[in-house]
Amino acid sequence: MAILTVYIQPQGVSYHPSPPVARPGDTVSFVIDGRTDEVSVSFDSSSPFSGVSNFCLNGSTQITGSFSDLVIDNASGRYAFTVAPTTNAFIGGAHVAPPGTVRGGLEVSADPLLRAL
């Protein structure tokens, strides 16, 4: 089983290896990189993990700045996620995405050829 690492950075996300393709049973690790704030990671519709659709990371320590889980056996397709600081932001009384909000996604496929792209 492989490990896919998602690096959450101030200006976006990066992946190792790239492209971000995982297979059922792979481990996906989310790691804060170059940030010291607390962020919430939320999958937009569904999650490739069992019972986990969102989680918080705190970049102040290595222990609280990472999260890992296994991709479930029946996961397939694209899983978009949003990473947002846990502080609320308002402009003109309307809630807006706070500065530092970034988006990413994972592709899950049982096809071993997708990993070679």
Q: 82: which 2 tokens? A: 């949003």
Q: Is the peptide bond between 24 and the residue preceding it cis, with omega within 30 degrees of 0?
A: no
DSSP 40-80: EEEESS--SSSS-SEEEEETTSTTTTEEEEEPPTT--EEEE
pLDDT band at 33 (very low <50, low <70, confident <90, very high): very high
Domain 3-116 sits in CATH at 2.60.40.420
**pLDDT tens-place string over residues 43-63:** 998 999 998 999 999 888 888
Question: Strands across the sheet with 21-22, in order?
Answer: 21-22, 102-108, 77-85, 38-43, 54-58
pTM reported for the whole predicted model: 0.85
The yes-or-no verdict on residue 97 having pLDDT over 70 is no
- Give the pLDDT band (50/70/90) at residue 117: very low
